Amino acid sequence: MKTRLMRGLLGVVPPVLFVAAALAGCDARPARIESFPLSPESEQRPPDVRASIAKAMEAYFGTPVSPKVPKNEVVTGERLLAGGDHYRRLCLHCHGLAGDGAGPTAAFLQPRPRDYRLGTFKFTSTAPDVKKPTRSDLMKTLKGGIMYTSMPAFGLLDDETLESLVDYVVFLSMRGQFEKFLNVDYEEDPELFDIDSMAESDKDLVVSRWDETTESVVAPTVKPPEDVGASIARGKDLYLDKKLQCLSCHGETGRGDGAGTDLLKDDWGFKIVPADLTKGIYRGGSRPKDLWLRIYSGVKGTPMPAFNGALTPEQIWDVVNYVRSLAEPSTN
Amino acid sequence: MRKIWSLLFLLVPIMGVGMFAMAPSSGWWMPKGASTYAADIDHLFNLILGITGVAFVLTQGALVYFLWRYPDAEGRTATYAHGNHRIEMIWTVIPAAILVFIAFYQFGSWKDIKFRKIFAGEGTSPMFEVVAGQFEWRFTYPGKDGKLGTADDVHSLNEFHAPVGKKVVFDLKSRDVLHSFFIPRFRIKQDAVPGITIPVWFEATEEGDFELVCAELCGWGHYKMRGMAHIVSEAAFNDWLEKTKAAEEVFE
Amino acid sequence: MSTAATAVAPGAHAHATHHEMGFFRKYVFATDHKVIGIQFLFTTLIFFALGGLLAMAIRWQLAWPWTEMPVIGKMLFPDAARQISPEFYTMLFTMHATVMIFFVIIPMLAGAFGNFCIPLMIGARDMAFPTLNMMSYWFMWPAFIIMLASFFVEGGAASAGWTSYPPLASVPSAAPGSQGGQTLWLASLLFVGVSSLMGSINYITTIVKLRAPGMKMFRMPMTVWALFITAILQAFALPVLTAALFMQLLDRLAHTGFFVPRDWVVGNVPVQGGGGQPILWQHLFWFYSHPAVYIMILPAMGIVSDVVATFSRKPLFGYRPMVYAIAGIAGLGFIVWGHHMFQSGMNPAMGMTFMVSTMLIALPSAIKTFNWLGTIWRARIQFTSAMLFALGFVSMFIIGGLSGIFMAATPVDIYIHDTYFIVGHIHYVLFGSSMLGIFAGIYYWFPKMFGKRMNEKLGKIHFFLSFITLNATFYAMHVLGTGGMPRRLADPFQYEYLEPLRSLNTFVTYSAFALGLSQVLFVVNFLGSLAFGKRTGEKNPWHANTIEWTTPSPAPHGNFEEIPTVYRGPYEYSVPGEGRDYSPQTEPLGTTAAGAHR
């Protein structure tokens, strides 16, 4: 019995091994994800509400394997499938399948990856009251990364890929914010929650918020002053001005050590600290224009306010010059 | 039946030589060198390949032959020999000489590539500085004032430009963990060490774009620390410096 | 119990009068070196499976990056498209190497074979310090548990490479695995080091003091010589590793500054402590880890010498040169560590000195290879499974050794450092050589351990498949490395210049799967023979000369009825005029037909 068993094994095992090895790779492909996960808020709703939310989400925005987007002026649906594939390979492990900023790597990063679902983006060239960026803002972030954070620069990718990624990020943001609005509607009055009517208007609201970015681009209206030295001096006075309160967060010497600043949080609920201006690290971009925009429109989603009302464009240049003068050469 | 084992072992030298023989024509070889010392390194690689190849074939050949010739068989006796002093001497001295030769033969190349005294004598200032960080390469060129760390510096992220046919010396640093600056086509590799500034040099022999890879594990993003060297004419290089500086100063 | 003081006296008392031991004292907290050796063997085989599974995951990701990974995808990344994340990949190769090096190869060679073989082969009843021996096994268990636990802490297991270079390894914000995982990794290895050191002391003392009468040093089998010199290597090298591990622990926990510069920031988190040098770690680490690679191969070389001689029916060619070569490898092994650091930023002048010493260390390895070839020359080769694996060792070691010459060549190393060329070399010496040597030893001594034989046919098929698949897997890596494919990349195809290597890379993955599956045959054979093998009671199934084959199979507690006396060297095979083709060490001269020889 034993010899026959052994002989049988000898005959059968080797070919089986090789066939098994060969077949192993046949199944190697990206996972077919048939649905996006619901947000934690949606998960908490009663089952019927949850189901209706899921249904509405799928109706307007499709699934990972077949994404779609409502008609709008920022994104068409053509590149979503390709964008989704690039996103899965390059972005998902940080930004998460639904763009919630909670991919597997996210927990270990400081600062955390962006959660697109709030519909707010920090580094924009849009007006102070517009929380969303333009396509070119997103493209700039993709190409140049965000300095000294875990968001890398993808500038070496080709334009087609980058455009499809911009599409997909906007898609995720729209989808995520739509879900948020549905939940807000539900919370306002659970009894009166009628998804059929509310979904359409919520979708329109999201779309309109993105559409308005195309008309809300801001830019410096004046050139920076010629006499940089004088500008810096003026900027310093503005910085220290009690009405403007720059030093209350950024500190007297610009080190980001203003009083009470370790209790600040951003709109996503994470602890945030004011920038240490002596480091010369400008996450939104280090061109003079970028700094001007940060001061003019603020950094959306954070306690950094917009100064478009409090400062004239010339004054903003003065502050920009002062801030740039604070940057010390790095020791690293 | 037992001779079949010898045939199995014969596959080793066949595979061993065969794979290296077919590699270049299958596109599985070193990417074409594009720097002055790439040729040196390739020559040394090929020399060692030749010497080890010969040793490989001879030793594997002997193994295969002995397995074929000396399996246990009826009536066979093994030769009762404990060794041979003379042959021990021969196969000690000859390999030792070859190994020592290989070592000393390479001193020159190594010095030329890595000894700062030799490639960056007195008064050489770096053309740019590279700071490696998780997970990017940041290049800084001194501006017109020739000094790094001033306001007129030109910055570039992940991509850098350098002139062709000119010796390019640069400083390599790290701002967080170990990285390693590796441009395969230049055959250049140097670890970037936190706390130390290390001078590195190359001289590109052709214009074009050459990929830069990080070659020291630096964290989860180690695989995506891709950079690009753009080698252009001197004129185009200066042009690029100006344009880049202008783009940095965009105010509208 | 043990008679350390008088063991040299011939005919020392047999162990018939020892007290009955309970199950725990006999099999769990055993002090019998054979039981301890077998404990090591079983435990390390389990970790071999774990290390192998980690390797399969690595190869899957390399061939098909960002696809749904079987089992792991659904279990660990259900919400992330069931593909692994990049930091998970860094953990995979870190733990694959850690497990294979510290929980498989070193304990298998030093722990399993060292323990089982030494007393039996030198004619002692047990090790000099049996209780210390028992502790050396049980000290591995905290190491195992701590290392396994590290997979489950926040941030996961260590992920900075088995080489753990600071600052990546020592700064928690540098990598997820550098949080709790790395601390546990360091702690685990401290236990491994203590265990190994206990073993070393035991082996050295036993070999120096407990050899049977007539067992002169130059009558010891090569397995024992190799284990002896390896034990000395471990004793000298381990303390440096221990110091380095402590220093990194202190940096992490007490905020000292050995390895990270002052006022440093990583991942936007300021590092506490600092004022040190990353390169310092590399020196300390490699000062141990280079001798460690010789620890991982010398015992296998010893085993191979014995197996080859036995199944050639011929004396080992050049016994003394072989011993000197092992000593040479060990000695030179202490002055080559810098070859791991040629591109590290250390003073390049050292690149020249280390190049010379590294080239020279190829020499004793070459000499050993020639002597093995000399052994099978004009031999009567018996192609048993053990012999096949031993011959496989020789063939694979030629490749592993020769590829080392490329890496020793400092300018060439500029290009191939941290590429797959290195990975190919590593696996030729570790799998192709050490592991094949281990298999040879298992097939060879299985009868002595368990009183049964492993199935020869299955063993030959195991060899045949392993030999083909390991070459298919690892040889191509030299070509991948020549093509410039760096190691430790979660997705090599981010780079255009690597695109031509895609097909070869996928081929390596398929071969690796086949290699992994081939080992199933070994498991079936090993366990099946244990469970269903017939107890033959043969003392000396291979007709070998060394002393362990004079005892019953399995060897009893106390090993020998009477301590034997040794009259000959270990390789007296096919002595002319002796009437049979082997002359055991314990047989006096002239007791067989005509002719008196050494």
Give this prediction's pTM: 0.94
Find which of B130, B173, B251 to mutate to test the A interface (most A CBs within 10 Å of its CB): B251
A220, B251: Cβ pair inside 8 Å? yes
Tokens of C566: 């040794």
Across the interface, which of A30, A109, A111 has its CB nearest the CB of C67?
A30
DSSP helix/strand/coil, C251:
helix
* CB atoms A29 and C532 under 8 Å: no
Q: Judge: domain C36-262+277-550, CATH 3.40.50.300.
A: no
Closest by Cβ to C64, choosing from A13, A25, A33: A25
Give the pLDDT score at B194: 97
Which residues of chain C from 153 to 192 reach within 8 Å of chain B, CB to CB?
159-161, 165-168, 171, 174-176
List chain B residues with CB under 8 Å of A144. 157
Q: Residues C232-288: pLDDT tens digits? A: 999 999 999 999 999 999 999 999 999 999 999 999 999 999 899 999 999 999 999
C-chain residues within 8 Å CB-CB of A108?
87, 155, 175-176, 179
At residue A62, the 3 state secondary structure works out as strand
Nearest residue to C568 (alpha-carbon basis) of C95, C48, C222, C218? C218
In C55-114, the residues whose Cβ lies within 8 Å of chain A are 60, 63-68, 70, 73, 77, 79-83, 85-88
Contacts of B188 in chain C (CB under 8 A): 414
Token pair of B2 as six digits: 């037992």
Half-sphere exposure of B213 (CA within 13 A, CB side): 31
Closest approach of C227 to chain B, Cα-based (Å) = 22
Q: In this model, does residue C595 exceed pLDDT 80? A: no
State the pLDDT at residue B143: 87
Q: Is the dihedral of CA B115, B119, B125, B130 positive or negative?
A: negative
Collect all residues of chain B within an 8 Å Cβ-Cβ radius of residue C356. 100, 103-104
% of chain C exceeding 70 in pLDDT: 95
Of the partner residues C381, C415, C471, the one whose CB lies closest to the CB of residue B71: C381
Closest partner CB to B158 (pick from A155, A224, A288): A155
* Phi and psi at residue C63, to the nearest 5°: -80, -40
**pLDDT, mean of residues B187-201:** 97
In contact, A151 and A232? CB cutoff 8 Å = no
pLDDT digits (tens, 9 = 90+) for B113-139: 999 888 887 778 899 999 999 999 999
Q: What are the two backbone dihedrals, phi and then psi, of residue B202, each rounded to the nearest 5 degrees?
A: -155, 160
Query: What is the per-residue DSSP string for A213-274?
Result: GGG-B---SSPPPS-HHHHHHHHHHHHH-TTT-HHHHH-TTSSS--TTGGG-B-TTS-B---
**From residue A203, how far is each of A69, A70, C134 by CA, in Å?**
10, 8, 71
How many contacts does A have with B, using Cβ atoms within 8 A? 51
| ipTM for the assembly | 0.96
pLDDT at position C13 is: 41
| Better pLDDT: C319 or A247 | C319
User: What's the confidence (pLDDT) of residue A32?
Assistant: 87
In the predicted model, residues of chain A with pLDDT beneath 70 are: 1-19, 21-27, 330-332
Domain B122-248 carries which CATH code? 2.60.40.420
pLDDT at C25 over 90: no
Residue C320: CB atoms within 10 A of its CB come to: 13
Q: Confidence band (pLDDT; 50, 70, 90) for C10? A: very low
User: Which subunits count as partners of chain B given 3+ CB pairs below 8 Å?
Assistant: A, C
Q: What is the pLDDT of residue C1?
A: 42
Q: What is the CATH number of domain A228-326?
A: 1.10.760.10
Which chains form contacts with chain C, at 3 or more CB pairs under 8 Å? A, B
Name every residue whose Cβ is closer than 8 Å to that of residue C4 and which is 6 or more positions away in sequence. C128, C129, C209, C210
Whether the pLDDT of residue C593 is over 50: the answer is no
Q: Between chains, do A13 and C461 touch, taking CB under 8 Å as contact?
A: yes
User: B154's torsion region: left (phi>0), alpha (psi -120 to 50) or beta?
Assistant: beta
B134 three-class SS: coil
The ranges assigned to domains in chain C are 36-262+277-550
From C268's Cα to the closest Cα of chain A, the distance in A is 6
pLDDT at A15: 65
Q: Which of A152, A223, A287 sits opposite B224 (nearest CB)?
A: A152
Nearest neighbour of B135 by CB, restricted to A152, A286, A289: A152
Of C171, C175, C409, the CB nearest to B102: C409
Report pLDDT digits (tens) over B2-57.
788 999 999 999 999 999 999 999 899 999 999 999 999 999 999 999 999 999 99
Q: Which of C42, C325, C281 is nearest to C169 (CA)?
A: C281
Would the CB atoms of A287 and B250 count as touching at under 8 Å? yes
Q: How many CB atoms lie within 10 A of CB A205?
A: 12
Which residues from chain A sit within 8 angstroms of residue C83, using beta carbons? 30-31, 88, 92
Contacts of C401 in chain B (CB under 8 A): none
Q: Average the pLDDT over C44-68 and give the result.
A: 96
Contact C131, C558 (CB under 8 A): no
Residue C186: the pLDDT is: 98
Please give the Cα distance from C89 to C251 (Å, whole number): 25
- Check residue B172 and report its DSSP letter: E
Name the more confident of B235 and A257: B235
- Sign of the C-alpha dihedral, residues B10, B11, B16, B18? positive
For residue B81, give how far its alpha carbon lies from the nearest alpha carbon of chain C (Å): 6
Tell me the C-alpha distance between A141 and A152, whole Å: 9
Chain B residues near residue A219 by CB distance under 8 angstroms: 252
Interface of C with B in 554-593 (CB under 8 A): 571, 573-576, 581
What average pLDDT is seen over chain C?
A: 93
- State which H helix or E strand residue A71 sits in: none
pLDDT at C539 exceeding the cut of 60 = yes
d(CA A298, CA A292): 9
- Chain A closest-CA separation from residue B37 CA (Å): 27
Question: Which tokens sit at A147?
Answer: 């300095």
* pLDDT value of position A62: 96
Of A150, A156, A289, the CB nearest to B250: A289
Q: What is the pLDDT of residue C117?
A: 97
Question: For C201-242, how does the pLDDT look when each residue is reduced to its tens digit (9 = 90+)?
Answer: 999 999 999 999 999 999 999 999 999 999 999 999 999 999
Q: How do residues C417-438 score in pLDDT, each as one tens digit?
A: 999 999 999 999 999 999 999 9
